[in-house]
Amino acid sequence: MVDHEVDTPALHLHAVVDADAVDRRAAVAVSPDGVLARVRAGAGELTGALRRVAEHVLSDPEAAARATIVELAERSGTSPATITRFCRAMGFEGYADLRLGIASETGRARSAGWTVDIGREIQPSDPLSRVLDQIMAADTRAMHDTAALLDLAEVERAAVAIAGASRVNIFGASGSALVGEEMQFSLHRIGVAAWAWSDVHEGLASAALLGAGDVALGISHTGQTRETIEMLAEAGSRGATTVALTGFPRSPLAELADIVLLTASQATTFRPDALSARHPQLVVLDLLYIAVAQRTHDRAHAAFRRTAQAVDGHKAAKGAAS
């Protein structure tokens, strides 16, 4: 039976998601390359019937692209009106545009040789060759989805801010802290005064010393990590430019940031969503690092040469026995 339930809005720290009042900043024109990435990123922001539509589309995009609006409503246990609201939430004028976008994307995926079934579970008896195929397919798709979601103008803004900053603070917890430390090390090697903080007490104390002209970068895939939100909020209250690296554009972390850099992940049964986000996060931060180096070329080149020389003596001599 078709469910005509009213979609229940999801509550966030600074915003309420409603199907008929979706933030228009997120509902920009979507290129065909980013349809499923947009659905995947937005699914966590939806509840009720809208969430079921998103899950059904992601579970079998090709079938969704072939289905009529009535068929999709029946298969997802919702109603045609809910499908229409879902389309608007994803930035489409109607169901025809959504179907066209999904069909175009899945068609390109087939022609590009997407022969690995990403959604299948890895069994204990599977050979390592298949495990490797699964990992590579999931990570590659996540990279493509991230490239489709990423706003290069936002990357440009972040790079300009970091290149001119007196101090850069990077905040993250758990796995995101590891990603932040990689970014801190990269920036430090090219002469940018950067610090990475994972302890909330130390991070808050450091954030309180920031001001105009400084930059704070908060990293959280979900955008829901309270410690990271608190540290970035403290930095912003002191006048620092705030940057969020997250997979959810309407998350609390994204809502409070001046600049938002989006990543996508390809969740699988063998790897949780947060872990699958690490490689896309590193790609975006690598892009940001290189963009900063481009804008501080002379200083960055000299700093990198000096730091490389400083550690060169600790490398094994060529030809030495291992």
Give the pLDDT band of residue 22 (cuts 50, 70, 90). Answer: very low
| Residues contacting residue 322 through CB under 8 Å, at least 6 positions apart | 316
Query: Parallel, antiparallel, or unpaired: how do β-strands 10-11 and 16-17 relate?
Result: antiparallel
Task: Look at residue 317 in the predicted model and tell me its pLDDT.
Answer: 64
Residue 152 clears pLDDT 80, i.e. is over it: yes
Whole-model pTM: value is 0.65
Residue 156 clears pLDDT 90, i.e. is over it: yes
Average pLDDT of the residues in 123-149: 83
Q: How many CA atoms lie within 13 A of 101 on its CB side?
A: 22
Task: Look at residue 274 in the predicted model and tell me its pLDDT.
Answer: 61
Residue 140 clears pLDDT 70, i.e. is over it: yes
Average pLDDT of the residues in 246-255: 91
Q: How far apart are CA 272 and CA 179, in angstroms?
A: 16
For each of the domains in the chain, give its residue range(s) and CATH number, in order of start. 33-108 (1.10.10.10), 146-311 (3.40.50.10490)
Per-residue pLDDT reduced to its tens digit, 212-229? 999 999 999 989 999 999
- Assess contact for 191 and 289: CB atoms under 8 A: no
Per-residue pLDDT reduced to its tens digit, 163-178? 999 999 999 998 899 9
E strands, the chain, are: 10-11, 16-17, 168-172, 194-197, 215-219, 241-246, 259-262
Nearest to 199 by CA among 168, 230, 223: 230
- What residues pair up with 243 in beta bridges, in sequence order? 217, 259
Task: Look at residue 108 in the predicted model and tell me its pLDDT.
Answer: 57
Nearest to 204 by CA among 192, 212, 214, 216: 216
Task: Look at residue 144 in the predicted model and tell me its pLDDT.
Answer: 86
Per-residue pLDDT reduced to its tens digit, 185-244? 999 999 999 999 999 999 999 999 999 999 999 999 989 999 999 999 999 999 999 999
Mean of pLDDT over the chain: 81
pLDDT, greater one: 1 or 146: 146
Per-residue pLDDT reduced to its tens digit, 56-89? 888 888 888 888 898 898 888 899 899 999 988 8
Q: How far apart are CA 154 and CA 254, in angstroms?
A: 13
- Assess contact for 158 and 242: CB atoms under 8 A: no
Residue 23 clears pLDDT 60, i.e. is over it: no
Per-residue pLDDT reduced to its tens digit, 254-286? 999 999 999 987 666 566 666 778 889 999 999
Task: Look at residue 61 in the predicted model and tell me its pLDDT.
Answer: 83
Give the pLDDT band of residue 26 (cuts 50, 70, 90). Answer: very low
Q: What are phi and psi of 96, to 5 degrees?
A: -60, -40
